[in-house]
Amino acid sequence: MLVLKKNIYENFGTDSLIPSSNPNLDPYNFIFKTLVSDRDLFPGLGQIDSEEGNQRFNIFFPNASRFGTIKIVNMISKRLLESLVIPDKWYQLNAYHFCYLYDSLYGFTEEYSYESPEQRISMFPELDGKSIDLNDFMDNYFLDTSFLIDPDRFNNMNAQEKKDLGLTDPCLFGVINRLVPAEEEISLEEIDNPYQ
């Protein structure tokens, strides 16, 4: 079970949720379908010429491809999907995970937006073919998108400025500065249920 800003495992569309322009979008289902879609994508990238595969990878994952190879980002994707569906265990995401998930959700939303109304309804019946407001989804479920900060801006901030802005994720420096993550940075940290 993944820990996001809001609990994606609660019933969606209830009064307890912050007002949203996506009131009928089930956040768990949205993330699940996105990650499952990527599970089909990665094998295809590995079966084509490496140069072409890397070009497509950079298009599909413009932010995550700056710090990771196809193999590394595939591992992050796989671990997120596995952790999403494990009941009774909560996993904390770091900046590497959020950066990949951002790219993945963005790509899936773009794909959805180009589909016919009938295809959209088959993908997310609860939306009745309506658009997905990804910015609203990010506002509701991502703690922040600090992994998108320009490296020069981030690196010119002092420690207090970073702390004041809440830029405390230990992996944030690596994501912003395009450092390949270590094995422990790809792993998700198991924590106690933060929503109790």
Strands of 189-191's sheet, edge to edge?
A: 2-3, 90-92, 189-191
Number of H helices, E strands in the chain: 10, 3
Match 């990238």 to its residue by tokens: 45
Domain segments of the chain: what residues? 2-142+180-191
CA distance 144 to 178: 18
Share of the chain above pLDDT 90, in %: 86
CA distance 9 to 3: 10
pLDDT band for position 12 (cuts 50, 70, 90): low
Largest Cα–Cα separation, the chain:
51
pLDDT tens digits, residue range 53-65? 999 999 999 999 9
pLDDT band for position 23 (cuts 50, 70, 90): confident
Write out the two tokens for 151.
């490296």
- Structure pTM? 0.92
Task: Assess contact for 124 and 25: CB atoms under 8 A.
Answer: yes
pLDDT tens digits, residue range 122-180? 999 989 999 999 999 999 999 999 999 999 999 999 999 999 999 999 999 999 999 99
